[in-house]
Amino acid sequence: MEQVMRNFFLFLSKNKPLTRLAKKYGLRFGASRFVAGETIEQAVEVIKQLNKKGLAVTVDYLGEFVDNEQEANDMADHCIEAIEAIHREKLDAQLSLKMTSMGLDISEELVMRNMRRILDTAKLHDVFVTIDMEDYSRCQKTLDIFKRLKTEYDNVGTVLQAYLYRTVSDIEDLKNYHPNLRLVKGAYKEPPEVAFPDKKDVDENFKKIIKMHLLNGNYTAVATHDDAIIEYTKRLVKEYNIPNSQFEFQMLYGIRPERQEQLAREGYTMRVYVPYGTDWYGYFMRRLAERPANVAFVLKGVLRK
Ligand code: FAD
């Protein structure tokens, strides 16, 4: 049943008419539990509250699968606006973005132009930028662009997904770039030809890549809500004397907030991924796909209205 629901919500996440409807009607149907608002001003207020609780942030102007140049340029402008707000408001925050919102499906030249605009502003204000990882069909292109950017900028990192068979060799391949990587299980629907179909294997591979990347001496963001993975990381860093300054935990806004605060109190860097903007529909559907309890929570909210 869980798998059927997961597939259903992942299917909905790519539905273009529903995406348009969601943009038109705003943050409804419980999405505000996972999305910090539609404007940068609303996001800034949420980030301030999180920072007060000792939580660091990575902020994401929502958008993906952009198919025209103007929209890609507008998305880049929103990212620059977010970086400027981080600087102006002195927030403890970084930026996350998706390559398809910068024009990945249009041309590499467009993506590079938008990324350089963003990274130049980010560098000026000492803000770190993480390139989220999207579906498998964009993985190689994203990594190729990341490698090019990493030779020009220090303030850029990306994400690898434990569910992909290729990820172990990607960790090896990227090793000498000394990348700051966020490691995740993976959120898209991928076929068994490219990704472990069994959750148990994904978890084992997740542990393997966390260990590889940390022991390579590179900065590691362990992005998960899974206590088993969090406890594994804590044991690993203790065993190998890895300092707290070489890794951090990350979780999504609205998911396990009490656990986020607890990890911060324990002295770990805990970073919350805070999405905002009008294009919240695909992100919201992937959160529902991850966990049936999220669907129940949202339904309760809708019924109460
Ligand atoms: P799951 O297997 O979903 O959950 C494991 C356990 O965690 C559950 O059994 C439960 O015990 C606990 N748990 C989970 N949710 C809850 C909850 N709501 N309440 C209480 N307990 C809960 N994916 C990408 O593909 N690309 C990206 O760039 C990307 N960036 C991300 C950035 C961040 C900061 C995070 C946290 C995730 C990101 N993801 C990304 C999503 C990721 O790939 C997973 O889909 C998502 O994190 C769910 O996997 P999980 O590791 O939390 O474990």
For 176-234, the pLDDT digits (tens) are 999 999 999 999 989 999 999 999 999 999 999 999 999 999 999 999 999 999 999 99
Q: What are the residue ranges spanned by the domains of the chain? A: 35-279
| SS3 of residue 208 by DSSP | helix
Q: How many CB atoms lie within 10 A of CB 244?
A: 11
What is residue 300's predicted lDDT score, i.e. its pLDDT? 55
Residue 98 annotated as part of some ligand binding site: yes
The answer as to CATH 3.40.50.300 being correct for domain 35-279 is no
Protein residue whose Cα sits closest to atom 53 of ligand 1: 226
**DSSP three-state, residue 157:** strand
Cα(87)–Cα(74) distance, integer angstroms: 20
> What was the pLDDT predicted at 208?
98
The complex's ipTM?
A: 0.97
**Which residue minimizes the CA distance to atom 45 of ligand 1?**
187
The pTM of this model reads 0.91
Distances (CA, A) of 192 to 7, 163, 197, 201: 14, 10, 6, 12
Chunked into runs of 10 residues, the chain (305 residues) has average pLDDT values of 72 69 62 89 98 98 90 97 98 97 96 98 98 97 98 98 98 97 95 97 98 98 98 98 98 96 98 92 79 64 43
Q: How far is the CA of 62 from the centre of ligand 1 (A)?
A: 18
pLDDT for the residue 24: 60
Does 72 count as an annotated binding residue? no
Question: What is the greatest pairwise CA distance in the chain?
Answer: 53
Q: Is 187 annotated as a binding residue?
A: yes
Question: Catalytic site residues?
Answer: 132, 182
